[in-house]
Amino acid sequence: MNQEQVLRVIPDIEYDELVMILNITREMSAQQQEQFLMLYQRRRKSRQELLLLSLLGFVGVAGIHRLITGDIALGIVYLLTGGLCLIGTIVDIININSLTTRYNTKQGYETAALVTAVFNQPRNF
């Protein structure tokens, strides 16, 4: 897989995410890489999407971005406390790049494990 293929499927990808994808898919077959890209594209979140969800904290619905990224306990705390009185929401907006990178990296490795497991299953006919 090369950079052009990844950029064609995921046009808003960041450089660090591109490097991660190329490293994960380096030893996969072409069919596995194609399946990985299709699954990963659906599972990943863009920085703009998470930023928009975190900005909802200023209108009273804080923590949605944490629930989406899998931080369930912190998301519930944010919902109940108004984003920890908006301080947690502001900190998350400042650190949105690291939140997005952490979430997408986790999704990349989970997707790679899923694709390799599916392709390595013995076939019983």
Mean pLDDT of 32-56: 95
pLDDT at 31: 93
53 contacts 78 by C-beta, under 8 angstroms? no
- Band (pLDDT 50/70/90 cuts) for residue 119 is confident
C-beta contacts of 99-103 below 8 A and 24+ residues apart: 99/50, 99/65, 99/69, 100/14, 100/45, 100/46, 100/47, 100/50, 101/14, 101/16, 101/17, 102/69, 103/44, 103/45, 103/50, 103/69, 103/70
Average the pLDDT over each of 32-36, 91-95, 118-122 and give the range with the smallest value.
Answer: 118-122
Mean pLDDT of 98-108: 96
pLDDT at 1: 73
Mean pLDDT of 86-105: 95
**pLDDT score of 53 more than 70:** yes
**pLDDT score of 43 more than 80:** yes
pLDDT at 122: 66
62 contacts 88 by C-beta, under 8 angstroms? yes
- Residues belonging to the chain: 125
**CA dist., res. 59 & res. 125, Å (int):** 56
pTM for the structure as a whole: 0.89
Spell out the residues 6+ positions from residue 105 whose beta carbon is closer than 8 angstroms to its own.
17, 20
